[in-house]
Amino acid sequence: MNENGGAHNAIGAAGERYRALSGTLYVVATPVGNLRDVTLRSLDILGSVDAVAAEDTRVTAVLLRHYGIATRPFALHEHNELARADEIVTMLSAGRSVAVVSDAGTPGISDPGARLVRRVRDAGLPVVPIPGPSAAVAAFSIAGLTAERFVFLGFLPATAKAQRELLAAVAHLPFALVVYEAPHRVRATVGHLGEALGGDRTLVIAREITKKFETIARMTLIEGPGWFAADPNHAKGEFVLLVDAPLQGEDAMEGRQWDARRLLAALVTELSPARAARVAAAATGLSRETLYAQAIALKESRG
């Protein structure tokens, strides 16, 4: 039996619906876009708790109405979470059950909820996770990265200094990096990632996960700004940015050579082979003589 009581596992074992237990806080994951992604247990709990605390009551009301749940949510967001936490502890102590939800995904992961959970646990009251959708996990599952592990950074700091410090601390870790971003910042953030991590690392842009205009695009970080510039619609929606682990050993050298070939192919259309080789060498760290020979070959192949 776990600290919240074995009844949580026993209820529903034979297929019957779960019911919220009194005096218990439920942390409920909700769809990140497609309303059909909600779990059956989430619906059971949302339909049986005494109260639902929501990051945005308007967003949560849509989900509740869609599934015929009459409970009217009340607001719990980053600006009132601490005050609401005390109210919820009082509710739980009086025997009421409460579910906390965010606008999308799992509360407490780049969303309100963690401070509430800490306050409830400090009060000695049970907290039960109702797992479900997570944009970070959904995006990582379809990114096809070489890294088997990732570091979740959430939304990067707003100030340039704090952002640089964070990226410098994780740049050389042998893990993928997962970042959330909003449309008004995504272009700048991709540029900053390239500057901090190097242009040869693989970038996967997961846009509008599970929604109508879901887009998954794969490229190098150096190509990221160009992808956004190619179509204004590319910068619309909500984003998960995934950067693969740094290339190691021979893979790193092959990556730089591949970048150099692509860079040369673009440069020789505008510059002489000598100047193209000089620019590519400065950008990649590869031998200027080798690049010059490749540039000559490219120029001759194009007549």
Determine the average pLDDT of the residues in 83-94: 97
**Residue 1 pLDDT:** 35
**Residue 183 pLDDT:** 96
Question: Residues 213-266: pLDDT tens digits?
Answer: 999 999 999 999 999 999 999 999 999 999 999 876 555 555 556 567 777 788
Asked if CATH classification 3.40.1010.10 holds for the domain at 7-133, the reply, yes or no, is yes
Question: Distance between CA atoms of 295 and 300, rounded to whole angstroms?
Answer: 9
Question: Distance between CA atoms of 59 and 70, rounded to whole angstroms?
Answer: 14
The answer to whether the beta carbons of residues 62 and 163 sit under 8 Å apart is no
5 or 56: whose pLDDT is higher? Answer: 56
The chain-wide mean pLDDT, for the chain, equals 89
Cα atoms in the Cβ-side hemisphere of radius 13 Å centred on 287: 4
Q: CATH 3.40.1010.10: which residues of the chain?
A: 7-133
Of the pLDDT bands very low, low, confident and very high (cuts 50, 70, 90), residue 3 is very low
Question: Residues 247-262: pLDDT tens digits?
Answer: 765 555 555 565 677 7
Q: CATH 3.30.950.10: which residues of the chain?
A: 136-243
Question: Distance between CA atoms of 176 and 173, rounded to whole angstroms?
Answer: 8
Write down the architecture of domain 136-243 according to CATH: 2-Layer Sandwich (3.30)
Question: Residues 263-303: pLDDT tens digits?
Answer: 778 888 888 989 988 888 887 777 888 888 888 887 776 66
Tokens 């179509």, residue located: 231
Determine the average pLDDT of the residues in 61-78: 96
User: Residues in the chain, how many?
Assistant: 303
Question: How far lies 25's CA from each of 21, 58, 127, in Å?
Answer: 9, 21, 5
**Residue 257 pLDDT:** 60
**Residue 259 pLDDT:** 63
Question: Distance between CA atoms of 218 and 189, rounded to whole angstroms?
Answer: 16
